[in-house]
Amino acid sequence: MAYLPAAIGSSGLVIPDYPDILAYLIAQFQLIYGSSTYLAAESPDYQDLSIRGLQASDVNQALQLVYLSFNPQTALGTALDLCGRLIGTAREAATYSTALVTLTGTPGTIITNGTVRDVNGNYWNLGSPATIGSGGTVIIQATAQQTGNITANPGDISLIITPTAGWTQVTNATAASTGLPVESDANYRARLLISQAKPSLSLRAGTAAAIAAVPGVTRSVVYENPFDYTATFGFCDTADSGGSPPETNVVVLLTGYPFDSSQEGKQLVIEEESSSPPNEYLTVASVIDADELTLTTAPGTNTSVGFYIGDGLSLGPPHSITCVVEGGASTAIAEAIYNNRGIGCYTNGGTSAVVIDPSNASISMTIRFDVLVYAPISVTLDIHPLTGYTSAVQAAIVSGVVDYLNSLGIGESVVYSELFGAALTARPNPDQPLFSIRSITFGAIASPPNAEGTTDVPINYNAAASGNADDVVINIV
């Protein structure tokens, strides 16, 4: 390529490479001293031009690194840390391994700034001071001197490095709790890209991003309810049948946030895809209990039909957020919610942690959220083997179905037709089928065995479908 000076354009920073720079310097040299000037590789003039070209190329490379350091997707090391500060998410620092060690010796012996060593040569600092008890022993925490994954199996910590009169032995009865190294650029970058939504215009989006950025969190969702009554959505059964006493116009909750009296007089929408118009807008007459209510008009008889009270997106008690989280430490999740939720917003859920306000230690608040629950699904496939069908293919069918179930998000239904697609991923070549799927039945494991069928399985707002190879059965037909 022809030499072009470094410039920032529509495609970003463009810099010339070393061969282009060197060719440019040679051309300029010859313009000054003539084209007949001797510039073979061994000539002093060529060597001088090569050095100058290399210096210019090095400066351009540094310029490229500076340019890339402004983007968390391309920044490295300290530059990535600076991007994190702007976003508000710090790199996870290295942590130290810890172990509970038993010190043996003369009762009353005081050990100050004690150090011990394990069989692998790692040094551990003892909590100070440590006093050996009346029974001749004391259990105390030892902390590795080096950060990162320092392991110690039971009995490995056995050498006294700082002898003290009256202290005769040290050992660890249990394995050490290992520390972590400094968070890698790759992991840190992934968290930064998630947490960039934290300063968003929507507090809900910022809360969701903060929870997703908590180490260990794998799946999460945030529901918001701005209404002055409990909002819910999910699936229900409806009936017009009478009884003694009459219980007409009944709605029975299958999935969704529980009913309560705040919903009386509010609108309930039943989503009937087969009817015209597709939705029925009805009024709640009374709430019998958390799972049942009555309507002022007949809803018709429906089984596992979609419904909502509110707008179909909101869920939970009045003026609240309901966070459902899988993984992560409870305290870290609660802090992420506290730091990003709206002012005066009630936090709803069955798990709680007390958070101290970072700017005022006298203020504390109980933050609630839901820990994700799992809905185990059983699947039975009738498979007719074709040429090339092996036990490995059968295992691949099971793996495909399990992976599909575990890939579903929180509250996503298990869709019957998708199970066929999941099983068919076991075919390496669609043009050469190895098996034929004759039928698939499935259902929640908690249901009776005869509950397996071909109807989509709705999952609750705080749950996720769970697949296990032991729950996928293949019948050869």
Whether residue 385 sits in one domain with residue 459: yes
Tell me the average pLDDT across 300-311.
90
Is 185 contained in some domain?
no
Mean pLDDT, all residues of the chain: 89
Q: What is the pLDDT of residue 300?
A: 83
Amino acid in position 55? Q
Residue 244 clears pLDDT 60, i.e. is over it: no
Alpha-carbon distance of 16 to 50, in angstroms, equals 15
Tell me the average pLDDT across 431-445.
91
Alpha-carbon distance of 244 to 286, in angstroms, equals 18
Is residue 41 packed enough to be buried (19+ CB in 10 Å), middle (13-18) or exposed (0-12)?
exposed
Band of residue 197 on the pLDDT scale cut at 50, 70, 90: low
- Higher confidence at residue 283 or residue 197? 283
Whether residue 164 sits in one domain with residue 108: yes
Residue 274 clears pLDDT 60, i.e. is over it: no
Residue 199 clears pLDDT 70, i.e. is over it: no
Amino acid in position 190? A
Portion of the chain with pLDDT greater than 70, in percent: 94
Alpha-carbon distance of 7 to 382, in angstroms, equals 64
Alpha-carbon distance of 211 to 338, in angstroms, equals 10
Q: What is the pLDDT of residue 366?
A: 95
Q: Which of 94, 61, 92, 87 is nearest to 72 (CA)?
A: 87
∠ CA 352-322-458, nearest 5°, is 120
Q: What is the pLDDT of residue 258?
A: 96
Q: What is the pLDDT of residue 275?
A: 54
Residue ranges with strand state E in 278-334: 279-289, 292-295, 302-309, 320-326
Tell me the average pLDDT across 433-460.
84
How many helices (H) and strands (E) the chain has is answered by 8, 25
Greatest distance between any 2 Cα atoms in the chain: 114
Q: What is the pLDDT of residue 2?
A: 78
* Residue at token pair 């309810």: 225
* Residue at token pair 């959505």: 233
Q: Please, are residues 113 and 128 in contact by the beta-carbon 8 Å criterion?
A: yes
Is 136 contained in some domain?
yes
Tell me the average pLDDT across 286-308.
90
Q: What is the pLDDT of residue 329?
A: 92
Residue 246 clears pLDDT 60, i.e. is over it: no
When computed from its CA atoms, the radius of gyration of the chain, rounded to whole angstroms, is 33
Q: What is the pLDDT of residue 35?
A: 86
Is 237 contained in some domain?
yes
Is residue 307 packed enough to be buried (19+ CB in 10 Å), middle (13-18) or exposed (0-12)?
buried
Q: How many CA atoms lie within 13 A of 35 on its CB side?
A: 0
3-state DSSP assignment of residue 186: helix
Q: Which of 196, 188, 9 is nearest to 94 (CA)?
A: 188
Whether residue 360 sits in one domain with residue 217: yes
Band of residue 88 on the pLDDT scale cut at 50, 70, 90: confident
DSSP for 421-446?
Answer: HHHHTT-S-TTS-SEEEEEEEEEETT
Whether residue 344 sits in one domain with residue 263: no
Whether residue 205 sits in one domain with residue 343: yes
pLDDT digits (tens, 9 = 90+) for 222-237: 999 999 999 999 999 9
Whether residue 411 sits in one domain with residue 469: yes
| Structural domain that includes position 344 | 197-225+319-368
| Structural tokens at position 327 | 């993984």
3-state DSSP assignment of residue 294: strand
Q: What is the pLDDT of residue 463?
A: 94
Last residue of a domain, one of 351, 368, 385: 368
Tell me the average pLDDT across 139-150.
92
Is 274 contained in some domain?
yes
Is 432 contained in some domain?
yes
Q: What is the pLDDT of residue 140?
A: 93
Band of residue 446 on the pLDDT scale cut at 50, 70, 90: low
Q: Which of 395, 360, 365 is nearest to 381 (CA)?
A: 395
* 404 sits in which H/E element: helix 391-407
3-state DSSP assignment of residue 394: helix
3-state helix, strand, coil in the chain (%, to 5): 25, 35, 40
Whether residue 355 sits in one domain with residue 302: no
Number of domains composing the chain: 5
pLDDT digits (tens, 9 = 90+) for 371-391: 999 999 999 999 999 999 999
DSSP annotation of 328: S
Residue 241 clears pLDDT 70, i.e. is over it: no
Whether residue 405 sits in one domain with residue 472: yes
Residue 245 clears pLDDT 60, i.e. is over it: no
Band of residue 18 on the pLDDT scale cut at 50, 70, 90: very high
Alpha-carbon distance of 285 to 351, in angstroms, equals 32
Q: Which residues pair with 147 in a beta bridge?
A: 96
Is 74 contained in some domain?
no
Is 110 contained in some domain?
yes
Amino acid in position 192? L
Residue 242 clears pLDDT 60, i.e. is over it: no
Q: Which residues pair with 383 in a beta bridge?
A: 437, 476
Q: Which residues pair with 9 in a beta bridge?
A: 12
Whether residue 323 sits in one domain with residue 217: yes
Whether residue 396 sits in one domain with residue 447: yes
Q: What are phi and psi of 374, to 5 degrees?
A: -115, 140
pLDDT digits (tens, 9 = 90+) for 204-225: 888 998 898 888 888 899 999 9
∠ CA 334-340-342, nearest 5°, is 110
Residue 201 clears pLDDT 80, i.e. is over it: no
Q: Which of 209, 213, 189, 211 is nearest to 197 (CA)?
A: 209
Residue 254 clears pLDDT 60, i.e. is over it: yes
Alpha-carbon distance of 13 to 318, in angstroms, equals 51
Whether residue 398 sits in one domain with residue 446: yes
Whether residue 471 sits in one domain with residue 377: yes
Band of residue 192 on the pLDDT scale cut at 50, 70, 90: confident
Alpha-carbon 170 to chain mean position: 40
Is 211 contained in some domain?
yes
- How far CA 37 is from CA of 24, 30, 162, in Å, comes to 15, 7, 74
pLDDT digits (tens, 9 = 90+) for 350-368: 999 999 988 788 889 999 9
Q: What is the pLDDT of residue 73?
A: 84
